[in-house]
Structure 1
Amino acid sequence: MSQDGKSGGLRPLSRRGFLAGAGIGVGLGAAGAVGADRFTGSGDGDPAGGEDALIVPFNGAHQAGITTAQQERMYFVALDVVTDSREELRDLLRTWTTMARRMSRGLEAEPEGSVGVDRDTVATDTGEAVGLRPARLTVTVGFGPSLFDERFGLAPARPEELEDLPRFPGDQLDERISRGDLCIQACADDPQVAVHAARVLVKAGSGLVTVRWAQLGFGRTASTSIEQGTPRNLFGFKDGTANLKNEYTNLINEHVWVHDGSWMDGGSYLCARRIRMLLENWDRQTRREQEEVFGRTKDEGAPLGREHEEDPMPFNEWHGTDGPLIPAHAHSRLASAPANDGARMLRRGYNFVGGVDDYGHLDAGLFFIAFVASPRDDFITVQSNLSHHDNMNAFVRYESSSIFACPPGPVDDDDWWGRGLFDQTA
């Protein structure tokens, strides 16, 4: 990826460097050392390993990979549909669903797999996940606003809120890494498992879809279960303390799942933003300055003026006459539900490092993903507040912006992603 000449170009990263930087090369080397403990993952049966298998159920009212306890690695791919055939798009979604269902169980994408086919046959599966554990793989699919043009007869069913996100103050968007007709979010605790899943689906869509852009993420920057500890982002701070958790059933039902009686009922909207962190600038700030930007301590992640991470934010307390304990433009204050009319979102972001720019500065930051029931009420409200007032804006650059409608999950083995959409527009 590169910037225009005015801002200095980012050095393109080779595919080998891209995968090695994500630790995938390490995974390849480790496979030989611990191969005896890996799953066979072939054929139609259950993978080896029994109770030790880390399998996230695929079928259900909602897609996996949304409220699922967040995995450590992510590979996100946005695609453009190049066929104009409604039938081909429909059949591709059916095929993808079947393949993803198998891969989530630790099986190869299709029964014939990659190593069992005739040597003169091009295999459907690429084979790099053979022998690897399922690693809690989830595959989540979404539909972009551009899919609902005149090509496929889907326009009458486009949800009212499925519109490109507005351009917020301070955005420096690169259209080459924004938007798309479709998206695939593959998450797993093994980067090779996540990359393989998306790669195989893209391969199955050859001639029907092309990759528009992709992002590899490592190290989750949020917790989606109360059993998970709060991780740290590349600024060194605990991130997402107040994030929604899958155990908060009522809040999840209100702020994550759509309830409109349409094909989107039980689905959710995925909002994605690639946020480059200006780490060299940040690293020159004192700890006090950094903590006042966040509104939390760097060690415990506690609200300023408190001792523990989970202590309530003292929004209404003051340093005598010196100002509020939590500065007026601190990130934690501006992102909070009380500061946004109760808006909440389920965050599933990841760190990324993509190389260096012409100045030797890291092209690194946060690939921000949020799932919401209403982009207008739960995401745009918060992001608008932050973009206008957040002191953190001096240390970040918003480089991409995308939104996708993620349909409900396939309820059984005969169901598939987007079936309700195609039935509604038949």
Structure 2
Amino acid sequence: MMTGTEDGTPVRRGTSRRTLLGAAGASLAAGGAIGFGASHLAGGASGGTAAAEDPIQRTYPFRGEHQQGITTPAQDCLFTAAFDVTTDDLDELRGLMEDWCVAAQQMTAGELVGGEPLANPQAAPKDTGEAWGYPPSSLTITVGVGPSLFRTADGVDRFGLASRATTVLAEGMPLFANEALRAQQSDGDLLVQACADDTQVAMHAIRNLTRIAMGTAALRWTQVGHGRTSSTSTEQETPRNLFGFKDGTVNVKAEDSEAQLAEHLWVQPEDEGGDWLAGGTYLALRKIKMRLESWDRLRLIEQEEITGRDKRYGAPLSIAEPTESAQEFEAPDYAAAVHGRPAIPEDSHIRIVAPENNGGARMLRRGYNYSEGSDALGQIDAGLFFAAFVRDPRVGFYPILDRMTRSDAMTEYLQHVASGLFAILPGVGDSDTMFGQALLGTKGSGAAPSGESTSGAGAGAPDAG
């Protein structure tokens, strides 16, 4: 496989993954998840400073207060998978989360699963091999748990976790107007998000975690995304969605203050479920099919009025004649008028979802464009895989989505076809052996650790103002 240098000269993808970070892989193979190289622990909270500037060679810290793949600068490629747990044995679930933790740490470091390949040709390889020799490619792996892990739809508490479910999880995501959700592409007990700057590296991560889960958890659905639709760092240029407009201009960014991230993104110790979820967050997913053919027939002025922004520069329509991309970041003037009418229409997308029009609520968007061939009508089957990370979706997401599905002019060109709600677990600590150790306890310890559960719909919710 070939890639290119900055001057366009083709070069091989990079040094061997085993050569690149061989010491780290050997440490993992010998000592499991705890024995990871100190150089990768030095980064602190996951998603912080990268180890290298080249995105193909870059790695991100695996262990820290928060999981990687949230505030990490959004990569170009996404592969997300949801799983249904097929066992009722808590120790088997713990074992899966341990095995996933070891494999994820190896793969995000640029290593093969299991370290050095087996020398025995009669044994199945520990790693599927399609990323053998590929560089790390900024791979991040993020793991979450869904409401059904705590209690199934028919009320069964399989793992003794029902008392640990927060009100957010117990209530689940509400229904919204104009949606046509497909159950087989929604929800799930477990979620894994793999992001990378190489599609095959992201695919390799999900494939190997799926193989490891066999007998304990089964794939429920998967989603591949190509091309990010949001920036999670101020150093990234705002991308465009499939309607051709810049998307996510006012997104929460990694560089926001700790106070802002605490308010809008990270679950706090005093929040409901803080005993096991502090440092984590909630992830609301929406698969949104975009009616591209209908959109493409609209006049430019109609597209811009529906969006509320200039298509070329991304500037709000309150700027009469934008001339440069920097104007994208000028604050919209919702009081501005043209010929007696609002310059930014009342039902335009940016007006409907703007934080200043929603009690200051913000979210960290990490969505991706997707395309899945054509449908039965011969139209392109494509759209947005929308992902919102938020401290409390009842404050930071549901009210905004409700306004959008009822009042946003863009809704005419969208169809919500799948949905999911997950609690994204806190980061893996230096001494942790698994994802979600504060929730699940350790293997062989009997019932899951108990914690006081705060009841009431408003428990732990941040102030919307």
Structure 2 equivalent of residue 97 of structure 1: 101
Residue of 271, 290, 295 corresponding to 1:282: 295
Identity of aligned pairs, percent?
44
Residue of 152, 155, 167 corresponding to 2:162: 155
Give, in angstroms, the shift of residue 320 of structure 1.
3.9
1:198 aligns with 2:202: no
Q: TM-score, normalised by structure 1?
A: 0.89
Structure 1 equivalent of residue 223 of structure 2: 215
Q: Residues 170-181 of structure 1 correspond to what in structure 2 (within 5 A)?
A: 170-181=178-189
Residue of 79, 91, 111 corresponding to 1:75: 79
Q: What's the secondary structure of 1:37's corresponding residue?
A: coil
Structure 1 equivalent of residue 334 of structure 2: 315
CA contact (8 A) 1:272 1:369 kept: yes
Q: Residues 335-350 of structure 1 correspond to what in structure 2 (within 5 A)?
A: 335-350=353-368
Distance (whole Å) between structure 2 residues aligned to residue 396 and residue 253 of structure 1: 32
1:178-210 per-position Cα deviation (integer Å, ceiling 9, x unaligned):
000001000000010111011101100101111
1:136 aligns with 2:138: yes
Q: TM-score, normalised by structure 2?
A: 0.82
Structure 2 equivalent of residue 410 of structure 1: 428
1:261-308 per-position Cα deviation (integer Å, ceiling 9, x unaligned):
320011000110000000000000000000000000000000003131
Q: Residues 11-410 of structure 1 correspond to what in structure 2 (within 5 A)?
A: 34-35=11-12, 37-41=14-18, 44-46=22-24, 53-113=57-117, 116-149=118-151, 150-162=157-169, 163-249=171-257, 250-259=259-268, 260=271, 261-306=274-319, 307=322, 308-321=327-340, 323-410=341-428
Q: What's the secondary structure of 2:114's corresponding residue?
A: coil
Give, in angstroms, the shift of residue 165 of structure 1.
1.1
Q: What's the secondary structure of 1:280's corresponding residue?
A: helix
Q: What's the secondary structure of 1:220's corresponding residue?
A: coil
CA contact (8 A) 2:114 2:126 kept: yes
Deviates further, 242-251 or 175-184: 242-251
Give, in angstroms, the shift of residue 166 of structure 1.
1.1
Aligned residues: 393
Structure 2 equivalent of residue 11 of structure 1: none
CA contact (8 A) 2:288 2:418 kept: yes
CA contact (8 A) 1:68 1:246 kept: yes
CA contact (8 A) 1:55 1:137 kept: yes
Q: Which runs of 5+ in 1 are unaligned?
A: 1-27
Give, in angstroms, the shift of residue 425 of structure 1.
2.5
1:337-390 per-position Cα deviation (integer Å, ceiling 9, x unaligned):
011111110000000000101111011000000100001000101101101100
Distance (whole Å) between structure 1 residues aligned to residue 11 and residue 220 of structure 2: 36
Structure 1 equivalent of residue 30 of structure 2: none
CA contact (8 A) 2:75 2:228 kept: yes
Distance (whole Å) between structure 1 residues aligned to residue 283 and residue 162 of structure 2: 19
Q: CA RMSD in A?
A: 1.7
CA contact (8 A) 2:79 2:224 kept: yes
